[in-house]
Chain A
Amino acid sequence: MTWSESISYRTVIGLEVHVQLLTRTKLFCGCSTTFGQPPNSATCPVCLGLPGALPVMNRRAFDLAVKAALALNCRVAGFTKWDRKNYFYPDLPKNYQISQYDLPFSEEGWLEIDAGQGPRRIGLIRVHLEEDAGKLLHDENGGGQASRVDLNRAGTPLLEIVSKPEVASPEETRAYLEEIRLLLRELGVSDCEMQEGSLRCDANINLHIPQADGSVAATPIVEVKNLNSVAAVERAMRYETQRQFEQFQKDGKKWGEPGVHKATAGWDENSRTTRIQRRKEEAADYRYFPEPDLVPVTVSAARVDEVRAELGELPAAQRARLPAQYGLSAYDAGVLTRQGRAFVAYFEEAARLCGDAKETANWLANDVLQALNESKQAIRYFPISAAGLADLIGEIKATGLNKQRSREVFAEMLAGCPSAKQAMDKLGIKVIADRDQLADIVRRAIAANPTAVADFKKGKTKAADAIKGAVMRETKGMARTELVQEILLEELHRAGSDADRG
């Protein structure tokens, strides 16, 4: 292994995320934003950029934007304005996009993520509000002669969230996007569907590679586009990390050297590679200037406080509170939090009712989540109420019912049985908790399994499981588990000492 292969480099990723705000109408006109309408059926003079049409700001879009910015810990400006970003592209009917340049409505925030190594804050440069462009369709049948444009999306409100280059790995990239999605969905700001384009992500990535002389070489920055799923983003970052490292070994080109430019690359999900599309030879020149058709917007400190007060408890706070309040592991708290507030509320109610938070979290993280995934249901439509789950957990603890039979009871309740007791009656489960009766069964099982007993005596404590299995078969899984365990060990030790004496 050469020195260069043995060194560790640092991955530097900055993310630019666009999310579509959950408004009924576009940012500057009353056209509908519903997804999937027939092409060019939701346009008007404003979003088509016809002469003389004037934009007027959608109040709800601005309110949602402020809400998102506060949830992203940004400083909301008291005064903000919009600017024209001028460029020519067939999906941009006005030849400018109304965006924000020097006075965005919010700046300097952070997002807490957890990529499995504890919480970490990723700094945000700014969050601003702008309009979307139309959709360009490449004509497969037209022999490559023409493209088609659908302007339904033109003018849709977008929030642009720009991170500092502080995302340090493909895994953190995924965690960052998942956290944004969770946060903005919970707040009703955006539905964040990557497939429908209501969450889009461009990623700027390069590597900082330590050199033998003690300096650090930065590889040329690549902006990766066309990332259509969270998994694709993670894959693209992994691929690009590897590619840049190998490329640097080959040509040693560094960011900042003459002739080294930022490149744009598209992610190809089929081949799972990035393809360099074009080099940005010149700095983009958008000739921004203040949008004369829109007046500035002011936000009072009182309004900021009011919106902040409406945010409620955010995921980062929940991830910290659940372990502190309920003794859950950070992992379990992460699993619950990721499902959203309604799921956490369900957990808290069930935990309070049954008094065993750890067990409640186990049921939710495993059986309940699995059932929800299978039925593609949200927790608020789950057939078992929080009280129902608490009842099940309480009944299991009281009777010592084993896991397998407990799952059968759960399934019965899932099918509509209102209480754990009724479900157990229906299944014919009657837990045997009588010590004498169980001791009798255990002794018979010991007599019938001499090999296991001999193994146990040799120190193979696992051999006891075979005998326990025999007891469970005999009782059809209805013996109280910990009582069986207790009696079994007693009897085995007694059998051992009897044998020694005999």
Chain B
Amino acid sequence: MSLDVEQIRWIAHLARLELADDEIDGLARDLNAIVSYMDQLQQLNTDGIEPLAHPLDVKNVFREDVPASSLAVDEALASAPDRRGNYFGVPAVLD
């Protein structure tokens, strides 16, 4: 399979990436190289091999339901590009 220009634009849109027209060809080449490598991997015989859900062979890691301290409001909002009172300001969302 190979990706066409429309698919590249769609993937960029999903990731909220703005692409200049002259960037697309190069990205298509790179992504197609990755995809064809995946195609190659798909050809491996994986019969009888358990799907890997996580690279670490660790399971069942939990924490107890015990409160820990949270950040102070000022700390939480310190990196907000647009602080509004004790809230994060964001462009108006009309839904």
Contact = CB atoms under 8 A, between A and B. Distances in A.
B76 interface: yes
Nearest to B77: A40
A297 B53 CA distance: 10
A138 B59 contact: no
Interface in A289-344: 290, 292, 294-298
B86 interface: yes
B87 A24 contact: no
A86 B68 CA distance: 28
B76 A145 contact: no
A295 B88 contact: no
Contacts of B67: 24-25, 30-32
A144 interface: yes
Given A25-B65, A44-B68, A297-B60, A290 B88 contact: no
Interface stretch (A51-59, A119-127, A486-494): A51-59
A147 B93 contact: yes
SS class, residues of chain B in contact with chain A: loop
A151 B71 CA distance: 12
A103 interface: yes
Contact of B61 (A25, A56, A144): A56
B6 interface: no
A277 B95 contact: yes
B70 A147 contact: no
B70 A138 contact: no
Contact of A58 (B16, B63, B76): B63
Contacts, number: 136
Max count, chain A CB within 10 A of own CB: residue among B63, B65, B66, B73: B65
B91 interface: yes
A146 B84 CA distance: 9
B66 A30 contact: yes
Contacts of A138: 92-94
A60 B67 CA distance: 12
Contact of A43 (B62, B65, B76): B76
A231 interface: no
Contacts of B94: 138, 144
Interface string A251-278: 0000000000000001000000000010
A60 B62 CA distance: 9
A40 B73 CA distance: 6
A148 B64 contact: no
A43 B76 CA distance: 7
Contact of A30 (B63, B86, B92): B63
Contacts of A24: 65-67
A465 to B, nearest CB: 63
A476 B59 CA distance: 76
A146 B89 contact: yes
B39 interface: no
Contacts of A56: 61-63
A61 interface: yes
A66 interface: no
Nearest to A47: B70
A32 B54 contact: no
B73 A59 contact: no
B4 interface: no
Given A30-B66, A144-B92, A287 B77 contact: no
Contacts of A459: none
Max count, chain B CB within 10 A of own CB: residue among A38, A43, A56, A148: A148
A150 interface: yes
A31 B93 contact: no
A29 B72 CA distance: 15
B73 to A, nearest CB: 5
A301 to B, nearest CB: 15
A434 interface: no
A59 B94 CA distance: 37
A433 interface: no
Nearest to B55: A292
Interface of A: 23-25, 29-32, 38-45, 48, 56-62, 79, 81, 86, 88-90, 103, 136-139, 142, 144-151, 266, 277, 285, 287, 290, 292, 294-298
16 contacts: A24-B67, A32-B67, A40-B76, A40-B77, A41-B73, A48-B71, A57-B62, A58-B62, A59-B64, A60-B64, A60-B65, A81-B53, A90-B91, A148-B85, A295-B58, A297-B60
Report the 3 A-B pairs with minimum CB-CB distance, sorted nearest first.
A30-B68, A148-B87, A60-B65
Given A148-B85, A148-B87, A285-B14, 17 more contacts: A24-B66, A39-B87, A40-B73, A41-B86, A43-B70, A43-B71, A44-B71, A58-B62, A59-B64, A62-B62, A81-B53, A137-B87, A146-B84, A147-B89, A147-B90, A148-B90, A150-B87
